[in-house]
Structure 1
Amino acid sequence: MDSKNAQSEQPPRAGRSEPFPSGRLTFLSPNPLPTGLPPVDHGHAVGEVNNSYLDFGAGATSVFGWQSTLGIPFFCFLLGAFFFPFVVFLGGFTFGNGWEDALWGWRVTFDFAFWIAVWGGLFGFFMLSLPRWQAYAKLKNVVPTRFNRQRREVCFVPEGQKEPIFIPWEELVAWVTEAQGVTEYGVQRQYGFGIGFYHPDTGEKYTLEFETYGQPQAISTWEAIRAYMEYEVHTLKEIQDPLELQGPDDPPWEGVHVFHNARKRLHEEYREGKRGVLYLTGWYLYHLMTFWTLPNRLVEWEVRKIKRMSRKTMPKAMVEWSESIPEDQWVAPTEELKHQSKRVLELKKSNPQTPITQIFAQVTEESGASASMTA
């Protein structure tokens, strides 16, 4: 996605949609309005969450990411080392001279295919792991963006800089992008979520963007941040556990406890008749192919690693700013935001099928007209 082309030439306003050469950019803020979508961090970009702040941009990967990294190369290894020789064995038995040709074909194919499968699996594991290690290398010098709901501010530390920049929450700009391009495989569509601001002293523009699976997922990620800042959600579990596989006392990441909770629920549903034998068997085969609890243990290791790196790189001013303050000093939302948020909810309730960005545009236009009349 070409972020240079996906920049607005007009002042940002919630609901405004602007085309760029390969797609379209739609603003969700300034003035963070409720979207009506579930507050879910699909990409696991959110890291630590507590009563004072939320970290964005340094979260651990999901267990599915590790399952893919381990399971896909292992499946390819089994396919090459055992399945293909077995096919040759069946072919020799069916079209050859019985067991003798079948065993000979299996032995020759196995001797040839086994090491190809071993090195191919290792190469696949390396290629799937490479982006993760590259991300770790970047995290050594990157400080996550921190949202402080008590102060209603956002703290950025741009890459390569040491001094944090503090931006009022209601002035933060957020957007979703939709882009498409033509490749040898056909037309491909990409979606992304971004936040940005202008430096209060220099006026320089800073942006942070990442890809998502689709526009609803991008908006849900923003809703997770907005809901936290507006005291609608309070824990990481609420925005990263849509399947409710974490108990009340479990840590808020997909560790080994999630595996055990999922297996316990599976057996309960099997006893109640909600799941059949095929589903039960498939669940066990899938987790055997993905190395049982190893992906969950790797997630736990990753969480500890990311936390250590974040603590080392965090500026002192950001640490002090992150400390909790007395409740009587908490900053309240502006009256304008309260009014616009209430209006958004009213319009969404009366017109549930209307796109939320269209409702945003209507509300900001009404607010602009009202401000002009007042002036």
Structure 2
Amino acid sequence: MDIQQTDKNSFKTAHWRLRCGQRETEGGIEKLALSPLPVATEQLPLTINKFLLINPQKLLEIQGQSTNVSLNQFSLWGQIYTLGAIFFLLWLTSTDLLVVLPILILVTVILGSIVWLRFSDSIHSSKVSISPSFHPQKQQVLITLQTGDIPRPCLVNDSSSQSAGWQIFCVLAGAITFSSGWMLLCGGKHLTQLWLSIAIGSIIFGSFFLYFPIKPWIVYFFQSKKNPPQDHLAAIPWEEVSIEFHQLSAVSYVGPRSMYQLSIRCPLPDESERAFTIGLPVYSQQEAFCLYELIRDYMEHGAKGLEHTAAAELQTEAPDYGRAAYWREVKQHLKNPLTYPFWQLWSLISLRPFAHWYMEYLLDVLPKKNIHREAAIQWSQPIPESEWAKPSEQLQEANRRVRELYVKGLDWESPEVQAVLREYERV
């Protein structure tokens, strides 16, 4: 399978792209652009999350799912809790199952769909999507693009609050009206003609309201089966990739909180409004800068070999998410016979063995069956030094100038460094 090769002439002017160093607030999200023009930030290149790794071809890769076992345990517990809620409702209503059947079906469909879509999306992604990879010799980022994809319906759509309000109203009004009519019809043994008409009318009106939120899903599934999306690989030039630090301040039930993310946005060929986005959660702006510097340092110095970059430390870490990692944990806890039975009991209750197996299945087993695997492996091979892509003169000059300022004690956010970036800015 061929890989779509792109260069700077393959892209239209991206309206979403920020200039290097530019700040902007959109939809409550504060954005700070670290690139295009990926200049050095003089931060320590490192990562503490579990999304970056060195793949078998010795290239830096971003996993679509964190390899943090505890995080995935928590997610699995959420799925089990959801399924448990369905079975609890079945048990709770076993004596009057017919009366509450509409509510039970509605809750089962909603909760069951959440669980099914989450698992099916993860499995499908592992089968058809290649994890984004960075090739320092080619100065490219390999991504999986999807064409002909149909947007999945969403109950709450930020782009149209009026439409979202109507959808929520229809769900609530339809569920209440339909259920009331059904309960009246099933609960009353001797209904008068008036009450019978009210019950039937409530069921009809409830069905009418429920039709509006259900219709988009019916259309979505039929169109997805009729015209499935097509996936293909594309190699995006590194200097065309925009990297932004995002900060969202919100108020939750525990009080004010902030969420941070390093967003890697790749432009799409012949597109000006959309981008392929990779979001990496971070705990602070400092961590985001360090993570960005790790990727930037790898692309600048990785052509000569992984050992010349800070990313080399990633390959020394043994995978801690598979079944082998679980048995290492078992052997470690067996050293203490007093606490081992309690640890093993909690391990089984918290689904830790299943979490290890499921992550190995997603991250190791399914990728070997990926339809783009051979093409990605071929793209990942090293190339002769004479064919290495060189950083642009613009980037080399900007890096030289900012590093001179760093020697003087200035940092990336200082006015002097930002002035240099503005001289080279491009959109």
* Superposed pair shares fold, TM > 0.5: yes
Corresponding position: 1:31 with 2:30: no
Matched residues in 2 for 1:60 and 1:173: separation?
22
Corresponding position: 1:341 with 2:399: yes
Matched residues in 1 for 2:340 and 2:424: separation?
57
Change over 3 Å in CA distance of 1:293–1:144 after alignment to 2: closer
Question: Could you tell me whether the CA contact under 8 Å between 1:41 and 1:224 is conserved in 2?
Answer: no
CA offsets 1:31-80 (integer angstroms, 9 cap, x no match): 222331332161425572634x4333435522333454679999xxxxxx
* TM, length-normalised to structure 2: 0.53
CA offsets 1:340-359 (integer angstroms, 9 cap, x no match): 3344444445437x5x4x14
Change over 3 Å in CA distance of 1:20–1:287 after alignment to 2: farther
Change over 3 Å in CA distance of 1:207–1:72 after alignment to 2: closer
Higher mean C-alpha deviation, range 221-230 or range 63-72: 63-72
Aligned to 1:17: 23
Letter in 2 for 1:147: F
Among candidates 139, 150, 153, match of residue 140 of structure 2: 153
Letter in 2 for 1:365: A
Aligned to 2:235: 166
Q: Give the C-alpha shift of residue 304 in structure 1.
A: 1.7
Change over 3 Å in CA distance of 1:132–1:331 after alignment to 2: same
Change over 3 Å in CA distance of 1:34–1:263 after alignment to 2: farther
Aligned to 1:87: none
Corresponding position: 1:190 with 2:259: yes
Letter in 1 for 2:371: K
Among candidates 160, 181, 186, match of residue 250 of structure 2: 181
Matched residues in 2 for 1:370 and 1:304: separation?
42
Among candidates 201, 223, 226, match of residue 296 of structure 2: 226
Report SS of the residue matched to 1:175.
Answer: strand
Matched residues in 2 for 1:349 and 1:259: separation?
47
Aligned to 1:304: 364
Corresponding position: 1:55 with 2:61: yes
Q: Give the C-alpha shift of residue 173 in structure 1.
A: 0.9
Change over 3 Å in CA distance of 1:66–1:43 after alignment to 2: same
Report SS of the residue matched to 1:162.
Answer: strand
Question: Could you tell me whether the CA contact under 8 Å between 1:47 and 1:57 is conserved in 2?
Answer: no
Report SS of the residue matched to 2:137.
Answer: coil
Q: Give the C-alpha shift of residue 12 in structure 1.
A: 2.5
Matched residues in 1 for 2:341 and 2:146: separation?
43
Change over 3 Å in CA distance of 1:64–1:139 after alignment to 2: same
* TM, length-normalised to structure 1: 0.59
Aligned to 1:270: none
Question: Could you tell me whether the CA contact under 8 Å between 1:14 and 1:31 is conserved in 2?
Answer: yes
Figure out how many residues of one structure are paired with residues of the other and give that number. Answer: 291
Question: Could you tell me whether the CA contact under 8 Å between 1:192 and 1:211 is conserved in 2?
Answer: yes
Matched residues in 1 for 2:47 and 2:18: separation?
25
Q: Give the C-alpha shift of residue 197 in structure 1.
A: 3.6
Question: Could you tell me whether the CA contact under 8 Å between 2:15 and 2:273 is conserved in 1?
Answer: no
Matched residues in 2 for 1:59 and 1:241: separation?
20
Question: Could you tell me whether the CA contact under 8 Å between 2:297 and 2:310 is conserved in 1?
Answer: no
Change over 3 Å in CA distance of 1:290–1:222 after alignment to 2: farther
Change over 3 Å in CA distance of 1:320–1:220 after alignment to 2: same
Matched residues in 1 for 2:34 and 2:259: separation?
18
Matched residues in 1 for 2:386 and 2:18: separation?
32
Matched residues in 2 for 1:55 and 1:9: separation?
27
Among candidates 137, 148, 171, match of residue 124 of structure 2: 137
Matched residues in 1 for 2:359 and 2:383: separation?
32
Letter in 2 for 1:234: L
Aligned to 1:365: 419
Aligned to 2:93: none
Question: Could you tell me whether the CA contact under 8 Å between 2:245 and 2:262 is conserved in 1?
Answer: yes
Letter in 2 for 1:228: Y
- What is the RMSD of the two structures over their aligned residues, measured on CA atoms? 4.6
Letter in 1 for 2:39: L
Matched residues in 2 for 1:198 and 1:344: separation?
26
Corresponding position: 1:199 with 2:268: yes
Change over 3 Å in CA distance of 1:339–1:136 after alignment to 2: same
Matched residues in 2 for 1:33 and 1:265: separation?
44
CA offsets 1:272-325 (integer angstroms, 9 cap, x no match): xxxxx9xx988996676335877555544443224224x324584x55433332
Report SS of the residue matched to 1:159.
Answer: strand
Change over 3 Å in CA distance of 1:370–1:71 after alignment to 2: closer
Question: Could you tell me whether the CA contact under 8 Å between 1:47 and 1:59 is conserved in 2?
Answer: no
Question: Could you tell me whether the CA contact under 8 Å between 1:29 and 1:172 is conserved in 2?
Answer: yes
Report SS of the residue matched to 1:312.
Answer: coil
Change over 3 Å in CA distance of 1:133–1:200 after alignment to 2: closer
Change over 3 Å in CA distance of 1:194–1:136 after alignment to 2: same
Report SS of the residue matched to 2:30.
Answer: strand
Q: Give the C-alpha shift of residue 19 in structure 1.
A: 1.9
Report SS of the residue matched to 2:19.
Answer: coil
Question: Could you tell me whether the CA contact under 8 Å between 1:174 and 1:196 is conserved in 2?
Answer: yes
Structure with greater contact order relative to length (CA < 8 Å, sep ≥ 6)? 2
Matched residues in 1 for 2:27 and 2:124: separation?
33
Matched residues in 2 for 1:135 and 1:253: separation?
19
Change over 3 Å in CA distance of 1:283–1:179 after alignment to 2: farther
Percent identical residues: 20
CA offsets 1:102-143 (integer angstroms, 9 cap, x no match): xxxxxxxxxxxxxxxxxxxxxxxxx99985664223333433
